[in-house]
Chain A
Amino acid sequence: MSEAVVEATGTQGVVDDFSRDKQVFGMPWGKAMMWIFLLSDTFIFSIFLVSYMTVRIGTTDPWPNPSEVFGLTMFGANVPLLLIAIMTFVLITSSGTMALAVNMGYRKDRTKTFWLMIATAILGATFVGMQAFEWTKLISEGVRPWENPFGAAQFGSSFFMITGFHGMHVTGGVIYLLVIAFRVKNGFYEKRGGNYEIVEICGLYWHFVDLVWVFIFAFFYLW
């Protein structure tokens, strides 16, 4: 319906997109903005991680062994990173439900979308809860932002800062999800011409949070 539709792909496609009038990307404003925001957010998290890397390399104090520090004892045996593994799976699951929600959104299946989003939010909340649990465990073992008995002080500093910042993103995401979910349920978007891209936009954010966790998991818990 709008001549914004250009079929050329590859380099030519890029040229066409950027030399078109009105708009470059064939997507709603909100979605374009979310992508750009995520790009900016990527820089934020990257720089957190770069700083973490630099201080970790720079300090001469020994670096605690994450798989021990984050270990949990189950049935007598010490299982490294157990909690983290669970958290990771929780977050991935939530990503899955979110993806489905987006899909259902496009099918204008409001109830399914709603429930899937709620599920996502619950999983997200669970994640935050487990993180809180992990924090308390570490604190009880004497890990503090300014020092810890197992090695370099920067370990605690970076850990609390980065996971904390990520946790805030998750929390924010949960709220965002709930708002959108209920709007979907109440037919808020029906009045707006029944357009459910908002669900995808919300999804973009949520998947990004998951994405960040993938990196934190690798760099902080495994490396």
Chain B
Amino acid sequence: MSKEIKYTEAFDELQQIVVDIEDGEITVDELSVKVKRASELIKICKEKLSATEEDVNLILKELEE
């Protein structure tokens, strides 16, 4: 499932978690769970960014050839 989430969605969820935590709307009890989720999301985003970068570089390289 995590593979199908979009970067944008992942990013938005991640940002929401950060905001929620900062606003103290998350109890200590939930916090661990949320942090875990956030970690996952960060990973996903980074992976997507890397993939995209590779992709783009490939395309642009072709153009220059």
Are the chains A and B members of one assembly? no
> Contact residues of B with A, CB < 8 Å?
none
